[in-house]
Amino acid sequence: MNYKEKYNEWLNYLKDDSALKQQLLAIKDDEAEIEDRFYQHLTFGTAGLRGKIGAGTNRMNVYTVARATQGIANYIIEHGKEAMDKGVAIAYDSRHYSKEFSILTARILAANGIKVYVFPDLRPTPELAFVIRKLGCTSGINITASHNPKDYNGYKAYWSDGCQVASDVAKGMLDKINEVDFFEGAKGMPYEEAIASGMITVLGEEMDRAYLDCIEGLAIHSGDELDLDIPLVYTPLNGAGSIPFRTMLKDRGFKNWHIVKEQEMPDPDFTTVGYPNPESPAAFKMAEELGKQTGAELLMATDPDSDRFAIEIRDDEGNYIPLNGNQTGYLLVNYILEGHHDAGTLPKNGAMVKSIVTSNMSTIMAESYGVKMIESLTGFKNICGRIPYLEENNLVYLFGYEESVGYGACKDIRDKDGISAGMLVAEAAAYYRKQGKTLWQVLESLFEKYGYFAEDEPNLILEGVEGSNRFKRMMTAVRNNPPMEIAGYKVTQLIDYINGYEDIEASNVLKFVLDNNSWFAIRPSGTEPKIKFYFYTCQNSREEALAVNKKIKEAILEIVNAID
C-alpha cells in the first residue's frame, strides 16, 4: 500500500471517538503531513523505536507500541520457556504516554506467557540496564525518547547482557515485528489480573538501593579527602533523575547542594526548558540563576531519562562555562586514572572505551598511564558491547564514554549513566577543592600537559521525507567524490566505515584525517532527523586550535550545504 492507502486504512479502522482518528481527519487536506505519517513504518533499529507521538505508521502510538511488543514477545518465545520465564524488565520516563505505553507493553508480554518486572514509577534508563543483569532477565524495554523535544517518545529494547540490542538481535526482533498486523496482531492481559497472577511483578525499593550501591561503590576518594561543603547545583530537567541523584548526593555526604525547584518534578511538557538536552547550554539557564544565588562551583544536569549528563563549571572570573562531552570526558578520564594511580589501585591491564567520533586526547591521557584505549561505534550498546572483548583479553574495564555527554564507569551498568557520572564529577570537584583547585584549573592544566585540543560538533537538522532523502544524497556525494584538500590542509587518510574498518563493524560514517593534526567525521544520526559533524584538532594554543577548527568546519559545511 502507498501512504494514502495506509491513511485511509487507519481512518476506516479507528472508531469515530478516537483521538487518533480526529488527528487524521484534521490533516485530510495536508498531503505532506499525511505522507510523513504514513510513508514508512516507524523504524525499529538498534535503538528500538523513536518518533513523534501521534496517529500513523511513522508515529509513536498504541498501535506501533503494541505491534513492536508482540513482535518482541514472539522473538522471545522462539528462544524457549527459559527465556520467557527469565522475563522482561520495563521502565519509563516522564514523557507524554510513557506510563501508558509501559503498561500496554507489560500487558502484552504477560498475555504471551512472558514474565514481566515493572517499576512503581519512572526510573532512569541506566537503572533498567542494571536491573536486567541483576535479575537475569532475557530482555528489557524502556519507554523514553531520551533528550528529544516534548512531542517525541520512544521504545528502547535491551537484551540479556544489559545493553541495547545488537544488530543481530534487532534484526531478529524486526523480522517478527513485520509479521504482526497493526490493528489485530497483539493480545493483551488486564494489568491487575497479570499482577495478581504473578505474571507481572512490581519491583520494590531494594532494587533502587542495589543500583545506588553499585554507583556509590565507584567512589575513588571519600571522607576527609573531600570538601563536602562545596556548593553544587543540580537539575533533572523534569525527568527521572531527581530522586536517585538527590539520594546519591545525600549518601555521599554532600552538604551544600541545591536543586532547581522548577525542574525538580516530572513535567512531560518540559515547560521551563523546552528542549531538555543537557548538551545544550540553554538547558542550564535556570541552573545558572540558582548557581549565582548560591555561589555554586559546579552546575550539573541530566536529561529526562537520566542517561545523559552535562556540566557547567566556574572559571577564574566567576563565569559559568559549559563543557561539551569531550571536555567533561577529559576531567573524568583524568580523575579516574589519577585517582587509581595515586591510590595504587590502577590495574596494569586497565582499559577504557570511547567512540570513533570522540576526541583522541583521552587516548593520549590513558596511554600515559599505561591504560589501553579501545574504540567502538557510537552508542553505548557498542561501547559496553566491548566489555566481553576486554574480559576475554584479560583487560579490566575502567571507563567508557562518547562525546554526546554519555559516560559509563560501572561494568554492571551497561548503558550511559548520568547518576554515576554526576557522582564522580561532584566527587572530583570536592577532591580538587580540598587541594585548593577548581575543575576549571584542572582542565586548563590538562591542556597544558597533553596539548591544546579543540572540538566542534554542529548538526544539520532536516525533518520528514525530504530531509531523510537529502541526508542520503549528502553522504553519497561525499563518499563518491571525497575532498582531498580542506581549507588548505591535505587529506592524508579517509576512513569509510560503511563496510566496517579493522575490528569496527559497518556503519554509515566517514572520517577524514588531515595533515595539520586535525580530523573530522560525518555521520547521520540513527535516532534523530539530523546529520552530525565532528571536528577535532590539536594546536599550539587553545585560540589557534579553535581558529583551525572553525576554518575546517566552514569549508566542509559549504561543501555539504551545496548538495541539494
CA atoms of 390 and 378, how far apart (whole Å): 18
- Torsion sign over Cα 302, 303, 309, 315: negative
Beta strands, E only, 380-426 = 396-402, 406-408
Instruction: Decide if 46 contacts 526 (C-beta within 8 A).
Output: yes
Strand partners, 376: 355
Local structure of residue 229 (DSSP, 8 states): T
Residue 136 contacts by C-beta under 8 Å, 6 or more apart in sequence?
Answer: 86, 160
User: Closest by alpha carbon to 381, among 415, 407, 413?
Assistant: 415
User: Closest by alpha carbon to 183, among 15, 1, 48, 4?
Assistant: 15
CA atoms of 284 and 321, how far apart (whole Å): 10
Angle, helices 62-78 vs 98-111, to 10°: value is 40
Instruction: Decide if 158 contacts 138 (C-beta within 8 A).
Output: no
- For residue 13, CA distances in Å to 7, 185, 430 come to 10, 14, 60
Question: Dihedral through CA 220, CA 224, CA 225, CA 227, nearest 10?
Answer: 110
Q: How many CB atoms lie within 10 A of CB 367?
A: 11
Local structure of residue 225 (DSSP, 8 states): G
DSSP notation for 110-161? HHTT--EEE-SS---HHHHHHHHHHHT-SEEEEE--TTS-TTEEEEEEEETT
94 among known catalytic residues? no
CA atoms of 98 and 92, how far apart (whole Å): 6
372-376 and 200-202 beta bridge pairing? unpaired
Residue written as cell 562555562?
321
CA atoms of 164 and 150, how far apart (whole Å): 23
User: Closest by alpha carbon to 107, among 66, 151, 156, 140?
Assistant: 66
- For residue 56, CA distances in Å to 5, 20, 177, 249 come to 12, 8, 16, 43
User: Annotated catalytic residue: which of 146, 306, 362, 507?
Assistant: 146
Q: Which residues are catalytic?
A: 146
